[in-house]
Chains A and B, each alone.
Chain A
């Protein structure tokens, strides 16, 4: 008999909500330590230039200035996957907005005033802004020393003396011959501009250089242990001498993964005699100094038989890494192994190039490249369906991965992967696919429907792991220690639910402290890739089992029965069929005391862990191998209305289906879906960086770079959460937090064709772009 679940799958309220609605949640931005200094930066006005001289004398002489640093003395190379970054620009600047000088002072006003006194002389250098040009020979090299950079060997393949930081290949079957022979063929090109994560809390770090080669860091980060590791290796300190705290984090979305401002805060503190130093990005710096989502140029060729079966697919992805590709290389890798969409394709050829240019650099952003590649793939699928004279849903139905198929990297698709087909059917039914949109009430407005598939797996090293500790309390409750970060996804609440379920105690008695601290919280790789609930959840299950094992061992002695004969329920333990002999956990958690005073046991602390299993490096020449711990599939269907006089799109309905495996908390899960869909709407309709011909960033603020507001949300959204269980997932769950954002632009692009009969290939789908095309079409017809 399966026990009915008490907490897992229930809409338990988030544990952090009270702190957040009362303003008592403390973020790094709010932190103020005694003697703390504040930092201002001098940024490069040039996209590519040699630094001839930096005169900081007047700045250093300003009263209240405690440290002035330039890149010259900071000979460090930093990075997670590709060590191509410096703390401050050294010898050259590679993008407009790059930090050149950092000044720490008693107040922010003094630091800013000091920056005004710094004189930097630059000499213009050649530059390159389009990654396709940057791939050509004899172009300007953004990193002439690329061949000397340390990087994750065997996983990333930088090409020496070029701008190519990584080339990911996938080869399956024989594309050329299959394409040649096929009935119907298309070739389409697409573009996604770089965009910003725009977390409401900008990046902020506080660091203190301590005596005895120690440092302490407080940071708005997704990655406490990765920060610790990289700071430790970069500065040559033992890991234990680097202590990283992560308090509440005001949004991450990938932008706070890996290293951020921590190294700069540390070197400033070191230079200021060990006073704590805060570096907090201004909103403008968040746009033009800190990393963004990479731009992407994609070209997709598809060949199909007349019956609608895809015969061959070739994708070329050219990623605009910007000036640094530390994290970007891994996005290029993911775009390779995921590069054909959720389809069964026998002949596949993918090249994914991550290319340096003289622009703001990219990093992870919710969806990790998949929104970008699926903008192309899912638009191309509609183009192909039309060429075949086939309904786009039917065309997809005939090609989606199903039991027995192999993915493009040779992974066997099983029922345990979830059900992409069911996702498709769910959204098609909900949007009444096949029934044309009812006409708008206004004659100048037209409506259309579109749908798109999505998929994504966690992109992470093959050895990714995490650990959990559960300490049981005097009252029979427990504290969970983890170092994955909950910056709003709700994972901590879900982990509490799992612990309560496993330990058989009320969820209110399980606590997680909202500050990760590497001195106390056990290891977790970093909080990215929609894998925290999956891996952390599994580790919690193991830690709870460890606690119960200890409870049973002590209770068995106390009750003089075998541990195997004990039952745990409702916070107590008792011999099977003898609930009247129950001992409350609270009598066991610190040790059990007999009537005569003799005591046994001791404080109960459970330990659980999880490591990714079975993953392999991908073959460098063919990309074959197992890259994914699990895949999550989904689909969106939309109905839109287009104002043909202004080019404005109104989203009437978005229906989203995701195969979550198991919905651990429906309220939080739906919160992720709604939020992700609206974030995807930003990428679809408004967001994109604009640069001038000299590579200067023109829209680095919320006035010129519009993210969705409350006025921009769809009229109607619907979330369909499917539960085809994931083998090995906690209660069958798989990750879903990034996915809702993916393919929102694709579905809208497809609906736009339905409404207007115009093919859009470039994002964002803003008024100007749409109106221009409507007018062009009117003129030519």
Chain B
């Protein structure tokens, strides 16, 4: 067993975990953060995507012990104070969710992209979500949602407006 310390959505956490426990199971089973989904458990589908120090990773492929000392962000941290983020609102506005099972992972991949590339091209968006499988939407609305979020966020930044529930 290993003692680990890390943060989840900014909150400090401490856990004693077996060597074999995945980060996904730690989040879902131990911390009850079930917004992160398991679609395959072997890194093929992207449903379990979370951010590790701001970068998207497949949490099913990472051991919990590897999270020691790192900052984890999950879908539960995406909206602040009950207010949807710009990205979440864009997903709603573009109709980018159907069954919704891929949506948390999809949003976290998009969040990772916007963290490092605030003005992504269409190709960069497609590349960023190429590892997130969706069987319902045909992806067009998802790509459009991420474009819309990027546009709205840059407008907010350009106008110097206070971000409303949104992260940059």
Interface residues of A (CB under 8 A from B): 13-14, 16-27, 29-30, 32, 109, 197-202, 248-253, 282-283, 487-490, 667-668, 670-671, 674-679, 701-703, 707-711, 713, 717
Contact = CB atoms under 8 A, between A and B. Distances in A.
A23 B137 contact: no
Given A22-B75, A200-B133, A283-B41, A678 B138 contact: yes
Interface residues of B, number: 54
A200 B45 contact: yes
24 contacts: A21-B91, A23-B74, A23-B76, A198-B133, A200-B37, A200-B133, A201-B39, A201-B99, A248-B99, A250-B37, A251-B99, A251-B101, A253-B135, A282-B40, A283-B45, A667-B95, A670-B95, A679-B135, A701-B42, A701-B44, A708-B138, A710-B139, A711-B126, A713-B140
Contacts of A26: 34
Interface of B: 20, 28-29, 33-42, 44-45, 47, 74-76, 78-79, 84, 88, 91-93, 95, 97-104, 107, 125-127, 129-143
B136 A488 contact: yes
Contact of A710 (B37, B93, B143): B143
Given A20-B100, A23-B104, A702-B45, A674 B140 contact: yes
B135 A18 contact: no
A674 B142 CA distance: 12
Contacts of B79: 22
Contacts of B93: 13
Contacts of B97: 14, 16-17, 20-21, 488
A21 B92 contact: yes
B156 to A, nearest CB: 19
Given A671-B141, A676-B138, 7 more contacts: A14-B97, A21-B92, A26-B34, A201-B101, A202-B39, A248-B100, A707-B133
B38 to A, nearest CB: 7
A22 B40 contact: no
Given A13-B92, A703-B44, A25 B140 contact: no
A17 B133 contact: no
B81 to A, nearest CB: 12
B34 A200 contact: no
Nearest to B139: A710
Contacts of B100: 16, 19-21, 25, 248, 250, 488
A198 B47 CA distance: 13
A674 B138 contact: yes
A713 B99 contact: no
A675 B47 CA distance: 18
B35 to A, nearest CB: 2
A248 B37 CA distance: 13
- Give the most central of A25, A27, A717: most B CB within 10 Å: A25
Contacts of A200: 37, 39, 45, 47, 99, 101-102, 133-136
A730 B2 CA distance: 60
A282 B33 CA distance: 20
- Give the most central of B20, B35, B74, B98: most A CB within 10 Å: B98
Nearest to B75: A23
B39 A18 contact: no
Given A21-B103, A23-B35, A201-B39, A671 B98 contact: yes
Nearest to B127: A711
A711 B97 CA distance: 18
A192 B52 CA distance: 43
A282 B131 CA distance: 19
Contacts of B34: 23, 26, 30
A713 B140 CA distance: 8
Given A283-B42, A488-B98, A679 B138 contact: yes
Nearest to A21: B88
Contacts of B98: 251, 488-490, 671, 675
A670 B129 CA distance: 21
A18 B92 CA distance: 7
Nearest to B35: A23
Given A26-B34, A201-B37, A709-B130, A717 B99 contact: no
A713 B138 contact: yes
B133 A14 contact: no
- Give the most central of B28, B40, B91: most A CB within 10 Å: B40
Given A17-B91, A17-B92, A671-B95, A250 B101 contact: yes
Contacts of A201: 37, 39, 99, 101
B20 to A, nearest CB: 8
A668 B95 contact: yes
Contact of B139 (A490, A678, A702): A678
A18 B89 CA distance: 8
Contacts of B28: 30
Given A17-B91, A250-B101, A675-B136, A23 B42 contact: no
A249 B99 CA distance: 7
A672 B44 CA distance: 25
Contacts of A251: 98-99, 101, 135-136
Contact of A283 (B44, B126, B136): B44
Contact of B44 (A18, A202, A702): A702
B104 A18 contact: no
B99 A710 contact: no
A711 B130 contact: yes
Contacts of B102: 200
Contacts of B104: 23
A13 B93 CA distance: 7
Contacts of A487: 99
Contacts of A668: 95
Contacts of A252: 99
A556 to B, nearest CB: 42
Nearest to B78: A22
B88 A675 contact: no
Given A200-B45, A671-B141, A674-B140, A18 B99 contact: no
Nearest to A673: B138
Contacts of A197: 135
B137 A671 contact: yes
A491 to B, nearest CB: 11
- Give the most central of A23, A29, A202, A668: most B CB within 10 Å: A23
B138 A283 contact: no
B101 A710 contact: no
A107 to B, nearest CB: 9
Contacts of B78: 21-23
